[in-house]
Structure formats: C-alpha cells, structure tokens
Amino acid sequence: MRKYFTLLMIIGFMAGCSSDDPSSPGGGDDTNSIAGVWLGTATLQSLSPASHPIAQTMAPAIGVPSNISIAVTQNGSDIDIRLTSTGTGIYTDYSGTMGASSFTAQWTYSSAAVVTEIQCADTVLRDMHLQTDNLTGTVSGNTITGTNSSAYNCVLSATQAPDGVVSGTAIFSITKSK
C-alpha cells in the first residue's frame, strides 16, 4: 500500500504559477514576487497511455485531491520551488523563471525520482524513473492555480527491460500561508 501511495504522490502532486494581476504578491512589477509558503491540494487529472499497466494501477487516483505545500525562494526573476506532499513528506525541487505574467519551472531533484517494484494491475513488478517534470500556472491575489506535467520511463523490475513511458498531468490550487 505504501508503494501505491508513494506512486500516487509522485504522479499526483504537481504544481505551477504566474501573474499579471496587480493585486497579486509583487503585482505590477516587471517580475512578480511569489516567495513564501503556499498550501493547498493537487489532483491527478490524467495518465497516458491509459492502457499501460502502471496507468491502470494508478487510475483510481485520478480526481482524488492530495494535500501539498510549496515553498518558493526568489532572486529577481529566478525562482526555486520545493513541492512537498504533506501526507508523505515526498518532495520535488524545481528551478525556473517568474515574469510579469508567466512562470515556468523544471525539476532538479526528487526524493522519489526512482520508484521500484510497483505491483501493477497485470501483477508484473515495474520500476519508474522520472525523466521530465514541468510546472506552469497563474497567480491571482494570494492564490496560485496551475498544472504539472511529468513523464516516467518504466522498466520491468526483474530484468530492467524497457517497458514504455507513462505521462501524467495534474492540477493544483494553493493559497499563500500566513
């Protein structure tokens, strides 16, 4: 069960940010400030291909919100983010750029970049290796909404033979913590 929940958190908590709202933190400048701690939920929206055994195993997690926290540090337009599952402590670090109305970030480290021996719907054990993880989104006042897209290379646990790529998309909504 822990591996299933770990897998849910890896694919299911995703995030992103941006702003052109003058009432948002730092609004009206050429670069908005989103530094601080943000709390909310992330919800897995899709997995593809849906026919892959890992996607079939994770299908029950689609639409189920997970609690997350996002800590942002910022130096000018450069941002660093740590997205953490508040239920498991699993985290992913991102680096990116914040502009007047846009934000993008790519993963730099994940405490669960490799998940091993996932018991799939077809009873075969598989490993997942994080390959890409990108954040985008929008800031409105003290709320950030966004999306996260990630892709994992899958291999058979017993032989490490390649077994395709599974991609996931999630949405999130977070509010600035006081």
Q: How far apart are CA 127 and CA 53, in angstroms?
A: 12
pLDDT recorded at residue 23: 35
Alpha carbon separation from 151 to 55, 119, 128, 166 (Å, rounded)? 12, 19, 9, 6
Question: Residue 110: what residue type?
Answer: S
Mark the ranges of the chain whose per-residue pLDDT is less than 50: 1-9, 11-29
pLDDT for the residue numbered 30: 56
Q: How many CA atoms does the CB half-sphere of 93 hold within 13 Å?
A: 6
Average pLDDT, the chain: 85
- Domain with 159, as residue range(s), is 2-176
- Residue pair 42/13 in contact (Cβ under 8 Å)? The answer is yes
Count of structural domains, the chain: 1
Tell me, what CATH number does 66's domain have?
2.40.128.120
- The secondary structure of residue 60, as a DSSP letter, is G
What is the per-residue pLDDT for 31? 65
